[in-house]
Chain A
């Protein structure tokens, strides 16, 4: 079985500041991908960033970067220069090549304070 845990139900950050969302996971597989998805209110879920487990280098996408600690099974998301449009639910997800499905955490609601 695989699990994804997000221990921060809600986070808030001042506009233009930096915020880090936490995620831990558990899997017995060695080959997997990790994702952060964003779900704005009443809108569809979109991919923010992806990390392949075999890569040591942390993924970055513009203002979004991850801190991937494989041994600790930790996968945090850092959002720099936060913008009002970043307000959303953020879900951490694990794709396991053994069972080939995405397992999601319970999400973190991010609020941006103007």
Chain B
């Protein structure tokens, strides 16, 4: 069974930093690209970053320069480092597996709340 489990969310003050993690299991992790997607409360989905199987990365303009990503295939994990957080970064952050340029499996999400 394919599983993706996010962690690392929580409350943070504006301007602060947070590092999210996503652990995958049930599939050959190193062979797949993964994405981070977020959803603000009551809002729609927003793609943030693509972490390629070859360790290349693409970012949405909205987070370029503030967010970075990495992967550790030995730990079946990808990470999202979020800096200079703003109130409008408050959202549930999902990790997804990429297949056929779509997200075929999603984690349960981790909530990030940016507030003073």
A binds B: no
